[in-house]
Amino acid sequence: MTLTVPASTLDYFGIDSLIDDDTRQLQAAVRAFVDRRVRPEIATWYDSGQLPARELARELGDLGVLGMHLQGYGCAGTSATAYGLACFELEAGDSGLRSLVSVQGSLAMYAIWRFGSEEQKQQWLPPMAAGAAIGCFGLTEPDFGSDPSGMRTRARRDGSDWVLSGTKMWITNGSIADVAVVWARTDEGVRGFLVPAGTPGFTAPEITRKQSLRASVTSELVLDDVRLPADAMLPEAAGLSGPLSCLNEARFGIVFGALGAAQDCLDTTVEYARSRQIFDRPLAAYQATQLKLADMSLELGKGMLLALHLGAAKDAGTLDHRQVSLGKLNSVREAIAIARECRTILGAAGITLDYPIIRHAANLESVLTYEGTSEVHQLIIGQVLTGHSAFR
């Protein structure tokens, strides 16, 4: 590799040499989609708090990224690494875009694919892979996020039916979903249910006034004695291991995705620093600027190497779910630090939507929290290292 001024920060690390040709082409296709469809519009979507989610879902289905790492039922069946790199490119566009894809594929579709009956898979997975149907995943509740074992949503039997009551909160895609995967406590433990939109007693009011993930649909799910037939239950999921395994799939995408937001911030900042004149010199020519850029580039590159290592382990079937905590914690923590540092180089320009920095920084505040807070992942790592649980 000849080292010249790199077109992108990660070019310096020779990352492409670690990725096979097919995966590299898929990543390039997603990047081209983001460049063509998302970048010209994302500041407007973010500013207005509106996302053409249904339209984008169709286009993302045509691109083949919805449930792309699942096998069969219209899904692309790619490697985990390819899925991760797609998340990287999507989140370089916006965290809200990657969230739409993650919730669709790694939460709602994965739950049906892994725990559903054959009839449920045939009914929902092909249209969801095509983006013709949208799913959401209802686990978090107003009072129970990090501790899902305390959930209050209940499902009781009434003859051959199930009747669900409760509330879910902070649900991506909720108010536009055609089907909700809802987890509820039963006399037999926690079980998952498929709740189609329009079912009597089921509503999904949108959450507004957000200052993060504005280009994303976030909702509450309200279940007021929602009656479902017996075959609405996911037959293969029993206990919290079901929803937690779905969360682990989504966390894996975040390991790569957050780094995409960081690269977009850093590439934007390098370009800005080269062109911005300060005291008759480019901002990039100052030592303080170069020190910041060097440190950020190093952390981004290390994060990407860890992500690719975890992707290779997942593809080999050797990835321990607790190792994903290493990646999620590191990627999001470093990405948000990079976004904040990049903002300092852009100065006042960094707080406007003319540049993506403040948008990524605000989005990453949410990514830092969802699919397990940083503190939760620290404690998972701590438990592995010490053999002692500090959760209680």
pLDDT, residue 12, reads 84
Kindly indicate the confidence band of residue 13, based on its pLDDT and cuts at 50, 70 and 90. Answer: confident
Give the rounded percent of residues in the chain with a pLDDT score beyond 70.
Answer: 98
191 and 183 Cβ atoms separated by less than 8 Å? yes
Kindly indicate the confidence band of residue 2, based on its pLDDT and cuts at 50, 70 and 90. Answer: low
Kindly indicate the confidence band of residue 164, based on its pLDDT and cuts at 50, 70 and 90. Answer: very high
pLDDT, residue 67, reads 97
d(CA 19, CA 8): 16
pLDDT, residue 4, reads 62
Catalytic residues: 371
Q: Is the pLDDT of residue 259 over 70?
A: yes
The pTM of the full predicted model, rounded to 2 decimals, is 0.95
